[in-house]
Homo-oligomer: A and B are copies of this chain.
Amino acid sequence: MNELKILDMVLPQLKQGSDIVTGPGDDCAVIDVGLEDKLLLIAADQVVSEIHYTLETNPRDIANKLLNRNISDIAAMGGTPAHAVLTIATCAKKMNWFSEFFEAIAQTAKKYNISLCGGDISSSPSETTVCSLTITGWVAKDNLCLRSNAKADDFLFATGSFGNSFASEEHLYFEPRLKEAKFIANGYSNAMIDTSDGLLLDAWRLCKSSKLGLTMFTDKIPCNPNATLQNALSDGEDYELLFAICAEKAEKLQESWKFKRGLTKIGIFTKDKINTIFDEKGKDLIKNNSKAGFKHFNE
């Protein structure tokens, strides 16, 4: 399956209403509901057994991963999460599975002031379990971050570090970068994405939406323990933030950065070589990368 190819076919068919500020193709859709100062965000994401976690993963970790990756999508828009609805299709028969799942998701929802306010539970005809969650949020109009807002000569910055998320199980235990994202969106950047599918692929998405190219400072990319540069570029599921920022604001942001998680300048956007990512030595990183995230568009 090739999600990008499917989306290229599908998206033009989907008619968007006049209240849709940003339709499919960003971390969230953005809706103008008629309020003066803020916009509604909505996104949906799922976790599938044996795809996003193993059959041994406990229901508590499944629930947290599901909700946290949705919160990460709201964060990437500069927003604050508000509501969620959930569907579960599972062959789980034991009440324990459900009680652990829901205890975890209720706790995490409470932590982020999210009202989990609806959903559906169905049986599954096989061992496959699919949990799908839709999240809404609010973003101040001035703080809205879109993939399409990067400008030529903006730097590409990243929070945190990359790679090896599956082996380290960080993909189950990460905390969404909500505070960091709100800080960045509040005056520093309006072009952001979270790294769910791999640093290189998600950086490329910023390029594609903003109609820019990117030179990536590959020797500056912070790698997690036991992660090579290749892992950092393409493993995915880091749920860090990538954002574009002009030189002047970048300096101010670095001075005022108060979070434990690091902040690193890892590239610069270019007005030529649109949709490509080269390293500083002129190597085409997309052409030379067939792994992980990039299977999406090389297949």
Contact = CB atoms under 8 A, between A and B. Distances in A.
Interface of A: 1, 3, 5-7, 9-10, 13-17, 19-20, 23-24, 28-29, 31, 33-35, 40, 42-46, 48-52, 82-83, 85-87, 89, 92-93, 95, 98-99, 102-103, 106, 109-110, 113, 115-128, 130, 132, 134, 136
Q: How many copies does the complex hold?
A: 2
A28 B117 CA distance: 9
Nearest to A34: B35
Contact of A48 (B44, B106, B124): B124
A223 to B, nearest CB: 27
Contact of A16 (B5, B117, B128): B117
A43 B120 CA distance: 9
B118 A28 contact: yes
Given A85-B42, A124-B130, A10 B98 contact: yes
B43 A98 contact: no
Contacts of A82: 17, 19
Nearest to A3: B121
A36 to B, nearest CB: 10
A297 to B, nearest CB: 14
A16 B115 contact: yes
Contacts of A86: 44
B126 A127 contact: yes
A102 B10 CA distance: 6
Contacts of A83: 17, 20, 29, 31, 42
A105 to B, nearest CB: 9
A89 B130 contact: yes
Given A33-B35, A123-B51, A125-B48, A42 B6 contact: no
Contacts of A51: 89, 122-125
